[in-house]
Amino acid sequence: SIYPNPTSEVLNISLSNNDLPDGYRIYSMLGQTLSQEVISTFSDLSVNTANLSNGMYFIQITKEGNTVSLPFIKK
């Protein structure tokens, strides 16, 4: 899961266990990739969204070839 939603500066990825995902990708409603990062430490679970314009986005979290996409709002 992700929190807080809506977010203003930092979006946190919450894990159900301590197994880190491989990475994440933030993309717009039009499917344009805006940022993509590899997750290597727990500090990488805090995503800086300050540079995004206000609006709706998706974050796609990947782990061992499996992905989940979650919507979030930048305000």
pLDDT digits (tens, 9 = 90+) for 3-60: 999 999 999 999 888 889 999 999 999 999 999 999 999 999 999 999 999 999 999 9
Cis-peptide into 71, omega within 30 deg:
no
Cα–chain center distance at 5: 11
In this predicted structure, the answer to whether residue 70 has a pLDDT above a threshold of 90 is: yes
What per-residue confidence (pLDDT) applies to 66?
94
Task: Output the pLDDT for position 30.
Answer: 96
DSSP designation for 53: P
The pLDDT of residue 72 is 98
Q: What is the pLDDT of residue 48?
A: 95
Between CA 66 and CA 61 the distance in angstroms is 8
